[in-house]
Structure 1
Amino acid sequence: MPTPPAVLLLLAAQPRHVISMAIGLGTAAAVAGRPLREVGLVVATVLVGQAIIGWADDLTDRRRDERHRPDKPLVRGLDPGTVWFALTCAVLLVVPLAVAHGRRAGLAYLAVVAVSAVGDRYLHARVLSFLPWMVSFALYPAFLAYGGWNGVGTTTPPTVAMTALAAALGLGLHLLSALPGLVQDHEEGERSLPMVLALKTGTPRLLLIAGVFTVLVAVGLIIAGGTVGLT
């Protein structure tokens, strides 16, 4: 039985990543002491923004997925026009959602979406593939620190420690998320940072190194959150 287009559209948004990011940032906002309504606004904004990133990623990888990933929604018959329409509607929605956090926080989150989508398109197969991941994750503390309600944010910047650790977390997650697709990347002749490192160290060793690094950074974020704090 064919999968309904609506289901394929949801799958093209990469829902596991969307939900995990929304939960992660929502939890961070709650731990930082944000009121419940602001936590809900964070979750809603991230759900829409991450869906944009997911749809943009699937559109960018469409031709590549036709050669290697028959399970992907666009390969299974989802109309690219439908994805473009959903992406456009989501962009029109994420802008007011982001602005509702305040000017600084809104600009920070819109920058996350732009850097992630554009960086994936132009740097995915290059050694600088890590750059959009680190930049976008470094912007998350600013999004949370400057955030408020009803367009009224704060002027208190995030701490340097939280920003640096968030950027490092982006690097670790980039390495881990790229590992399952390295065989296909190699066949396509891509030379992303994970590919370059895997060719030097071997994939099992890179998995171990990236996993340990990411766990240490996550622990560092927890410690920093309890000591220096977000702001």
Structure 2
Amino acid sequence: MNTGAVLLYHAAQLYCNLYKVTDFQAKETAGIGVYSALSLINHSCYPSVKHYFIGRSLVMRAVRPISAGEELTISYIKPFQKAKKQERKILLQRYWFSCTCEACVNDWPTFPNLPALRFKCLGCKNPLDGRPRVCYACVTKRRDPDKPQTEQMEVVDSIWRGILNACCTDLALNIGQKKTREDYLTVCQNLQLLYEHVAMPCQHVIIMHQLLYKYFEDEF
């Protein structure tokens, strides 16, 4: 392949693989860059990874539990909680593909219309409808239908105590105090518990994601 053909090939790639280099703290775009590793990661409107920049360095961090062998994904556009499916479809036209992520296939609503807490069945992990004696997905009967629900409520109560502490820490940062790595790990642990017990989409999980992004602004 001659030099001209190679240049044309890479010029065509640039259209879909340029990334804004943004100062994460100042919220300002510093320029545009090409990052070969990032370009290999596919899109999802419900991404598993958040990417941002510290100076010229690209950083990627997981924002939800990722199973062994599961594909890493980032969001090329607005995530599902910020834009309706039709708007996301229009924004993705420049990338020449149709998204088939979980949020698009199930037409998840935007943030204002997201449900709060829906518990998962402790067996098959499918969402439970209220407090049934039987999980209709796996048809598993509960010996004590109130006990699993009570245990999950205790877990969720613990999670929200952690969230409250994290929010207080965030408030302290705004008046000049720096978050610690321990605070960051507390948020991660609470988010992990939510994913274990709560079905997506969930408004509370998205709130936790936003809090997690704030912690990314600091280097630990």
Instruction: Please give the TM-score of this superposition, normalised by the length of structure 2.
Output: 0.32
| Between structures 1 and 2, the one with greater helix share | 1
Instruction: Please give the TM-score of this superposition, normalised by the length of structure 1.
Output: 0.31
| Between structures 1 and 2, the one with greater strand share | 2
